[in-house]
Amino acid sequence: MTHEPFDTLAATYALGALDGDERAQFERHLAGGCDVCEETLRESAEALAALARAEPRAILPPEVKDALLRRIAATTSPRLERPQPRPLVWAVATLAAMIAGAAFTGTFVASRYEGRLGQMAREAAALRARVQQDEAALREQIAVYQAAVDLLRDPTTRVVTLHGLGPSPEATGRVIWHPVSGGHVFVANLPAAPAGSAYELWTIGDGAPQPAGLFRVDASGRGTHRIAAVQGKPVKVFAVTIEPEAGVPAPTGPMVLASK
Partner 1 sequence: MATAGADLIRQMAAGDRQAFALFYDRHAPVVFPLILRIVRERADASDVLQEVFWEAWRDAEGYDPSRGSPEAWMITRARTRAIDRVRATRRRSETFVAPLDEALAAAPADPAGDAAERAADRGTIRSALGRLPDAQREVIELAYYAGLTQTEIADRIKQPLGTVKTRIRLGLERLRDVVKTSP
Residue ranges that bind partner 1, judged by CB under 8 A: 7-8, 11-12, 14-20, 38, 41-61, 63-65, 67-69, 71-73, 76-81
Residues of 160-186 as b/e, b for ≥16 C-beta within 10 angstroms? bebebbeebeebbbbbbbbeebbbbbb
Q: Which is nearer to partner 1, 58 or 219 (CB)?
A: 58
CA 78/CA 87 separation, integer angstroms: 18
Residue type, 10: A
Nearer to partner 1, 66 or 206 (CB): 66
Nearer to partner 1, 61 or 249 (CB): 61
3-state secondary structure at position 163: strand
Q: CB of residue 217 vs partner 1: minimum separation in angstroms? A: 50
Beta carbons of 227 and 211 less than 8 angstroms apart: no
Which of 2, 231 has the CB closer to partner 1?
Answer: 2
CB of 3 to partner 1, least distance (A): 12
Residue type for position 80: L
| Number of other residues whose CB lies within 10 A of the CB of residue 216 | 13
**C-beta closer to partner 1: residue 60 or 89:** 60
User: 17 vs 195, which CB is nearer to partner 1?
Assistant: 17
Minimum CB distance to partner 1, residue 98 (Å): 19
Angle between helix 35-53 and 4-14 (nearest 10)? 30
Number of C-beta neighbours around residue 200 at 10 A: 25
Nearest CA-CA partner of 172 in 216, 218, 223: 223
Task: In angstroms, give the least distance from the CB of 21 to partner 1.
Answer: 11
| Kind and range of the H or E run holding 213 | strand 210-215
Q: How far apart are CA 3 and CA 5, in angstroms?
A: 6
Q: Nearer Cβ to partner 1, position 74 or 195?
A: 74
Task: Return the sign of the alpha-carbon dihedral for residues 46, 47, 50, 51.
Answer: negative
Q: How far is the CB of 97 from partner 1 (least distance, A)?
A: 17
| Nearest distance from C-beta of residue 109 to partner 1, angstroms | 25
Which strands make up the sheet holding 223-227, listed edge to edge? 210-215, 197-204, 237-244, 255-258, 158-164, 172-178, 182-188, 223-227
CB of 87 to partner 1, least distance (A): 16
